[in-house]
Amino acid sequence: MNAKTSNKIATQAAIPQGVGAPQNQIAAFTQQIRHITTHLKAHKKDHSSKRGLIHLVSKRSRLMRYLQRTQPALYLQTREKLGLRK
């Protein structure tokens, strides 16, 4: 993870548990998803990046379901903070 990524995660999530906390992982995945999405808008035929994007979205979705199941209040807070839909 580079400095730009860690700064972004720190401002979005701001959770003291560290990078392993589910909400921090979701924030990192969200940032990567947004970056790859902008890349794919310019490079429509980049199928390997598209495959990676689908993989990241799936990982984030699984983490969100885990967070919703285990800590519903934190799930809602994370979703609202990152601007994610259900």
Supply 69's token pair: 């199941």
19 or 32, which is more confident: 32
Return the higher-pLDDT residue of 21 and 18. 21
> DSSP letters along 14-83, please?
--TT-TTSHHHHHHHHHHHHHHHHHHHHH-TT-HHHHHHHHHHHHHHHHHHHHHHHH-HHHHHHHHHHHT
Q: What pTM does this model have?
A: 0.80
Neighbours of 27 (CB within 10 A): 25
Which CATH number applies to 21-82? 1.10.287.10
- Point out the least confidently predicted range of 6-10, 15-19, 49-53, 79-83: 6-10
pLDDT tens for each residue of 20-75 = 899 999 999 999 999 999 999 999 999 999 999 999 999 999 999 999 999 999 99
